[in-house]
Structure 1
Amino acid sequence: MTRAPTRLRTWLGSALLAFSALPSSMAIAQEPVKASAVRPALWKVADKDTTIWLFGTIHVLPEQVDWYAGPVAKALDSAQELVTEIPIGATEQAQSTILHMAARKDGKSLRDTLPENERVAYEGALASIGIPAQAFDANDAWFAALMLTLIPLKTAGYSTDTGIDQQVAAKARERKLTNHAFETVDYQIGLFDNLSDTTQRTYLAEVVDALPKVRTDVDQMVAAWKTGDADHLAELMNEDESDPEIRRVLITDRNANWARWLKSRLDKPGTVFVAVGAGHLAGPDSVQEQLAAAGVRSVRVQ
């Protein structure tokens, strides 16, 4: 079995924000199709007076899917509070934040910071998707890596409009649910911006190497999500992560923070629907594993 490239997982956690930095003209018009039925994974955490539903989302999809059905629909309909990675509506101000943080502050061109072999490969990757070599010269390596991952997806029709987060948010607005966000836009983008230069360059080099397979690999992740195959999704997204800084910053530490909040939330009565990127609810160091380490049990519902 072919695994997704190590760094592809990283865009899934920030695609909702990063897509706002892409020109809208890159999308290809899609013919309307009937939404396909899916059975994404759902977990339940509960005590005598509190219920917390854990639902893994896919931030961008290539077509509409019928996710709002069965246990997932019942769980969301029963909730008084929606918990998300960033506040509902935050993507509206994300573009300026991303572009500000991604701007180089050392006075150097991105390409000038790359060894010759990496620069040649990087320029070739940009050319392969019709992007000028100088396009991201004024940006940090993490931003160039995200754009190289997302541009082919947007060109292929992937969109946040068909992604699950915006649809969950719309239903929450209709019901006027209270919204708690684990993180702010600044914090989430800052996770990338504060990565060491070495890690950022390694990230970029691996994305360049993986570029020809981006669409195929992400399609595999989406297929696993649609069937609720959390184990396969974890294998595709997380288990091949070799960089300890990336794993700690983007997976382990965040999941641990979220699990601490969720454990504390059990002290307050009510029903909570948590909608976060599916990668956080799969594999080693998942939110469920962090909860279990703290003595809190989660049960798979779908």
Structure 2
Amino acid sequence: MNRQLAAYICALCLAALCGGGAFAQSPAQKRDADPVLYVVRDSDTTIYLFGTAHLLPADLDWFNDEVKRAFDDSEELYLEIILPGDPSELAPLMSRLAIDPNGRKLSAGLDNRQRRIVSAGLRKLGIRLEEIDLFEPWAVGMQIASLLAVSAGLDPASGAETVLEAEAKGQGKTVRAFETAEEQMTMLDRLPTDEQILSLVETLRDVDQSKKDLSDLIES
């Protein structure tokens, strides 16, 4: 796999993970959800704080009641990050950050035990280590997180940021972000390699449990 194609595939996974995908479904019945909403105000400003998830089940109805009223009452929307509509725009960034500039492969940083765990976990997801060996551990972790989320029934198009951003733009509200995609990925890229590997190994040690943990987190 060449560097440019690999970076593009990784960009697609990042876009899906952060809500840039298009896997919308039309479930027959919605499940009501009432997420926690915090309010901070002074004499002339009201701020609503709302914990979001990049991917959510398509049948979860959360954009209603207090959340919808708070949204309608707001003039601006602040998101963690705003991704470009076209995932290919992220490919140059992924090529620069997600792939080791010296050509060091993921497998080169794994000891025998870690390699067995990673290879076994990847096989459960239908992936061979050789297919993602070009990427740094943090980038592989993001791809795995995206695959686990989708396989757990979570939908990028139903993610809170995707829904809120579309609604805000439709109403002409100002949309801002706390950080850029480059800032977020640079932070991950600068993590010590051994920490990146440890996180990846723990995720792939028990793929089924990781998927369950993700589902439990969303449901909570």
TM-score range, shorter chain: 0.7 to 0.9
Match of 2:58 in 1: 63
Conserved 8 A contact 1:142-1:204: yes
User: How many residue pairs are counted as aligned between the two chains?
Assistant: 205
User: 2:97 — aligned with what?
Assistant: 101
Q: Which has the higher contact order (CA 8 A, sep 6+)?
A: 1
| Structure 2 residue 201 is matched with structure 1 residue 205 | yes
Change (3 A) 1:17 1:107: closer
Map of 2:77 onto structure 1 = 82
- Counterparts of 2:176 and 2:56 in 1: how far apart (Å)? 24
Partner Cα distance (2:33, 2:152) in 1: 21
2:40 corresponding residue in structure 1: 45
Question: Counterparts of 1:212 and 1:67 in 2: how far apart (Å)?
Answer: 26
Offset of residue 91 of structure 1: 5.4
CA contact (8 A) 1:61 1:159 kept: yes
Is residue 18–residue 98 contact of structure 1 (8 Å, CA) maintained in 2? no
1:151 pairs, out of 147, 154, 165, with 147
CA gap of 1:113–1:91, structure 2 versus 1, over 3 A, is: farther
Alignment match, 1:236: none
CA RMSD of aligned residues (A): 2.5
Cα separation, partners in 2 of 1:44 and 1:30, compared to 1, 3 Å = closer
2:157 to 156, 161, 168: 161
Task: Give the deviation of 1:74 after TM superposition.
Answer: 0.9
User: Are 2:116 and 1:120 aligned?
Assistant: yes
2:40 is paired with a residue whose SS is strand
In 2, Cα distance between the equivalents of 1:211 and 1:135? 18
**Inter-partner Cα distance in structure 2 for 1:179 and 1:221:** 27
Tell me, in whole angstroms, the C-alpha distance in 2 between the residues paired with 1:127 and 1:60. Answer: 24
Aligned 8 A contact 1:152 1:215 in 2: yes
Provide the identity percentage.
28
Partner in structure 2 of residue 292 of structure 1? none
**Which residue is 1:282 aligned to?**
none
Is residue 86 of structure 2 the alignment partner of residue 92 of structure 1?
Answer: yes
Show the counterpart of 1:187.
Answer: 183
Uncovered stretches (5+) of structure 2, i.e. residues with no partner: 1-12
Secondary structure of the corresponding residue to residue 155 of structure 2: coil
CA pair 30-214 structure 1, distance change in 2 beyond 3 A: farther
TM-score normalised by the chain length of structure 1 = 0.62
**Structure 1 stretches of 5 or more lacking a match?**
1-15, 225-302
Measured against aligned partners, the alpha-carbon deviations of 1:192-232 in whole angstroms (never above 9, x if no partner) come to: 111111111111221122422122111111111xxxxxxxx
Distance 1:91 1:183 in 2: 17
Write the distance in 2 (CA, Å) between the matches of 1:205 and 1:176. 44
Cα distance between partner residues in 2 of 1:111 and 1:36: 43
1:107 partner SS: coil
Structure 2 Cα separation of the partners of residues 18 and 194 of structure 1? 21
Taking structure 2 as the reference length, the TM-score comes to: 0.83
Which has the higher mean CA deviation after the structures are superposed, 153-162 or 33-42? Answer: 153-162
Structure 1 residues 163 and 193, CA gap change in structure 2 (3 angstroms): same
Matched, 1:136 2:129: no
Partner of 2:16: 19
Moved more, 153-162 or 51-60: 153-162
